[in-house]
Amino acid sequence: MLAADRRGEADAALRLSVHDLACRRSGRLVFAGLGFDLGPGDALLVTGRNGAGKSTLLAILAGRLRAAAGRVVLSGAGEATLPERLHWIAHRDGLKTALSARENLAFAAAMLGEARLASRDALERVGLPHVADMPVAYLSAGQRRRVALARLLVAHRPIWLLDEPTSALDAASQQMLYDLMREHRAAGGIIIAATHLPLPLDDAQSLAIAAPQPGAGAQGASAPQDWDDWEIGDVSGASAGGRAAP
């Protein structure tokens, strides 16, 4: 059996469920009561005003920030943790500017494991074969964004967290991204995208993060300052509203 086939079978039972998630920042409740349930091929569009917590939600899922309350449950992944099964393309590109595009992707592939495409093949796919050996510092904002998106292709991860994925992309590059997202979902992958702009993801669920109601609290936090969303740690606690809509 091919490695790609084994991956597909392993990911077929993957499910990500979020229940009553809440976060605080510097003692301020950013959001509370967020929840959704995603399986193979599903997509979720996360919207909201600036500062609503869209990027924070993705960072919590990626294991970089700590929630004040709620549960994040990954099933069907065996012993793997959620961060080990996802790609996180943040609002910032996260590239080492002194390294070439190819070197950045080679580094990502070595760190992530589960090799998929070679660096040059991934750059070909995002339309940048000609900048493979050019330091990222010399690339335009749109080119750097495409190099960041090429990380999705050098290592296999079934869950994609995308923060404003179309940022700095021209129309042709946006179409390239849409094709990648459709292919990922067709192969059973899951996508969670925080965005201000519409994304053509058929049958995607939507989650609009609104300001918490006055007096709302996040249960499971012993005091307002005890849990801050910039702490690194696992998501745990009791129930903390926003609910994903089909």
Question: Which run of H or of E encompasses 117?
Answer: none
Closest CA to 26 of 224, 188, 204, 202: 224
Superfamily of domain 39-65+80-209: P-loop containing nucleotide triphosphate hydrolases (3.40.50.300)
The torsion defined by the Cα of 64, 184, 157 and 71, in degrees rounded to 10, comes to: 40
| Both structure tokens of 53 | 């917590």
Query: Is residue 12 over pLDDT 50?
Result: yes
User: Mean pLDDT for the chain?
Assistant: 86
Query: Is residue 8 over pLDDT 80?
Result: no
Query: Is residue 218 over pLDDT 80?
Result: no
* pLDDT tens for each residue of 185-216: 999 999 999 998 889 999 999 999 987 766 55
What pLDDT sits at residue 25?
85
**Phi, psi dihedrals of residue 209, rounded to the nearest 5°:** -85, 120
> Range with the lowest mean pLDDT among 25-29, 37-41, 81-85, 173-177?
25-29
Query: Is residue 90 over pLDDT 80?
Result: yes
Q: How far apart are the first and last CA of the chain?
A: 35
Query: At which residue do the structure tokens 């750059």 appear?
Result: 123
Query: Is residue 123 over pLDDT 80?
Result: yes
Confidence band of 22 (pLDDT split at 50, 70, 90): very high
Query: Is residue 105 over pLDDT 50?
Result: yes
Looking at per-residue confidence, does 138 or 1 come out higher?
A: 138
Query: Is residue 7 over pLDDT 80?
Result: no
Interatomic CA distance for residues 18 and 240, integer angstroms: 12
Q: For 14-92, where are the alpha helices, taking DSSP H only?
A: 54-61
Average pLDDT over residues 53-81: 95
Positive or negative, the CA dihedral 155, 159, 164, 169 is positive
Looking at per-residue confidence, does 113 or 130 come out higher?
A: 130
Number of neighbouring beta carbons within 10 Å of residue 175? 12
What pLDDT sits at residue 222?
33
Confidence band of 48 (pLDDT split at 50, 70, 90): very high
Looking at per-residue confidence, does 82 or 5 come out higher?
A: 82
Cα 223–Cα 58–Cα 177 angle in degrees, nearest 5: 170
Q: Is 53 left (phi over 0), alpha (psi -120 to 50) or beta?
A: left
| Both structure tokens of 192 | 């969670």
What pLDDT sits at residue 1?
37
**Phi, psi dihedrals of residue 83, rounded to the nearest 5°:** -60, -25
What pLDDT sits at residue 83?
95
> Range with the lowest mean pLDDT among 12-26, 149-163, 201-215?
201-215
Interatomic CA distance for residues 142 and 242, integer angstroms: 33
% the chain with pLDDT above 70: 83
**Phi, psi dihedrals of residue 49, rounded to the nearest 5°:** -65, 165
Cα 58–Cα 184–Cα 79 angle in degrees, nearest 5: 60
